[in-house]
Structure 1
Amino acid sequence: MRPTGILSITTTVIVALFFGIYVHSQTCPESYGRYVVPDQCDAYIECIEGIPERKLCPEGLLFNEKASPFSYPCQYPIDVDCTGRPRTQPALPTEQCPHQFGYFKVGDRSHCGQFMNCDNGVGFVLDCPLGLAFNSATYQCDWPDLVEDCDADAYLGFKCPPQAEGLIAPIRFFRAPDNCQKYFICVDDRPRVNFCGPDYAFNELINACDGVENVTGCAI
């Protein structure tokens, strides 16, 4: 015989627990506002006239409880603190994008200058300014030696020459061997590339861009 009494009690407890959690998560602390869902970073409760409505951010975006009341509350992960709210909805990747929304690096460690802006699952490839690399930690184009997943030497095609023992300089300058208007700055023995403007070339005697007429062996 099925223990209907025990089953009934168990069901009642489960329903009561669920209902209690549900009501608690839907409570409006104030008549108007947006509030976190305790364990989920891409969901939130919006209260209008004291009536709560649970909402879900577009996949790839997260709820920022510090967002202005007049701004869209779903923002990029670098702008949101998810401490204590680790759960998110499952990823919805497409052929182009790992998430529906976000910015993502394109290429490997030796090809760091491109990134993709994913908007509703459609990817748009963008280029950093020449010589800079996309930094996934900041969503900005940065010096490649400051980007953790970029090999600056391979990306720029230049390796800083070794320094003489006992003569350690934190910053050194080198004219590019194939372009006198281009030069490398070695910062702690890792390269960055720069370019002189029109009619200027890099003068190794002064470690700066100079009029091309003042630079030996340079013809533009």
Structure 2
Amino acid sequence: MQKSFLAILSILILVSCSDKKSDKNFVLNGNIKGLKSGTLYIQRIKDTVFVPIDTIKIDGDSHFVSEFNLESPEMLYLFLDRGVTNSLDNNIPFFAEKGTMTLESTLDFFTADVKISGSKNQQLYDDYRKVMARYVNQDMDLIEKKFKAFKDGKLEEVSKMEEEQKNILKRKYLYTTNFAVNNADFEVAPYVALADIYDINLKYLDTIQKSMSPKVAKSLYGKKLNEFIAERKKTDK
């Protein structure tokens, strides 16, 4: 009888623990396989500087949980302190939004092995980056060929490649504009406009601005895009 009572009590405790909800509106469940000891920082960019939001100490268990309040969907960064210079290999960007997200990676290939779920903005941004990577690779190939042609004194070929690079840049800008307009209900739209095509012709930024849903227009990046366009219109006169 006593054993049955203890078993029921244990089950009730487990259920009550599992039902316990965070009082924060954002939860990140993470796992960095192979990381036994170290420090992780969740950071945001403020005035071009990384500012820590949360500090996570890893001691034996590579799993971690971070909880805090998020005012608006925002690009955040998970930084791994390896005790060396802050480099791109130590920073994982992720598009945080209210709710629960999961981030998994490995110690050996911290940025390459990352898998992120639980955010529609992140999913859209991943799709966007795959396309943009193709443009970047095309441009890198041309840079390599252009260098060889210049070295061989083939200046006419160099000029042709420079024109090809300009066309790639135009296609990148048009793709980003179309992506932002087609995903105007998500905060990733003003984010890519600010991050990747801030110097495009104002008429394209105006198109993105007008396409934003009211919710997105009131978001962190929606407000920033509105402010940026207003400043561009003043300086471009």
The structure with the largest alpha-carbon Rg is 1
Instruction: Give the shorter-chain TM-score range.
Output: under 0.3
TM-score between both structures, scaled by the size of structure 1 = 0.26
If each structure's strand is expressed as a fraction of its own residues, which one has the higher value? 1
